[in-house]
Amino acid sequence: MFFSDWADLGRIVAVGTLAYAALIVFLRLSGKRTLTKLNAFDLVVTVALGSTLSSVLLDKSITLAEGALAFGLLVLLQYILTWSSVRWRPFEKAVKSEPTLLLHRGEFLSEAMRRQRITESEVLSAVRSSGKGDVRGIRAVVLENDGSLSVIPESSNEGGVTLI
């Protein structure tokens, strides 16, 4: 239960080191965008890469070559998805969600909150996390593509750009 043999431990060290190195190579080749958290697909790829690394480390039936191929496939598919999203607006609209305004100038937008399954208490939690005590002084709260809540204070005006 606590120890089977040294060969198993040696396999984990050897395969783990090489699999980790292969993952780093694939991530460096694919660029920073592969592991960003800009949308749901990014999160799925990050979790899938971690799960694949875990499987390669612990499942003796999965070879290092199979694990490296799995890393490469996930990174390639993520690259194709993001490359296509940047070049074709219809594809981007099909795979990415739009940010949703949940609170505007102190008023909760109930219909938008209902569609996104977000409660007032969750919005208020984001407001508190931003350092504000209540919704006064908040221009907007936006549910972003990655599922995070952005709190925009009234005084925020990035170089004259209209935020809302």
pLDDT digits (tens, 9 = 90+) for 93-146: 888 888 999 999 989 999 999 999 999 999 999 999 998 888 888 999 999 888
- Report the SS3 class of residue 80: helix
Count other C-beta atoms under 10 Å from residue 60's C-beta: 9
Q: Please report which confidence band the pLDDT of residue 19 belongs to, taking 50, 70 and 90 as the band edges.
A: very high
Calculate the alpha carbon distances from 161 to 140, 156, 157, 158, 164 in Å: 15, 10, 6, 5, 9
- Report the SS3 class of residue 142: strand
H-helix segments, the chain: 6-30, 40-58, 64-87, 89-95, 110-116, 120-129
pTM of the shown model: 0.71
Look-up of token digits 């198993």: 8
Closest C-alpha among 7, 77, 84, 2 to residue 42: 77
Query: Which pLDDT belongs to residue 154?
Result: 86
* Cα–Cα dist 43/62, whole Å: 24
Q: Could you tell me which CATH number the domain at 100-155 has?
A: 3.30.240.20
Q: 63-102, pLDDT tens digit by residue?
A: 999 999 999 999 999 999 889 988 999 988 888 888 999 9
Query: Which pLDDT belongs to residue 158?
Result: 56
Q: Strands across the sheet with 149-153, in order? A: 107-108, 100-104, 138-143, 149-153
150, amino acid identity: S
Check whether 161 has a pLDDT greater than 70: no
For the chain, which residues make up each domain, given as ranges? Answer: 6-94, 100-155
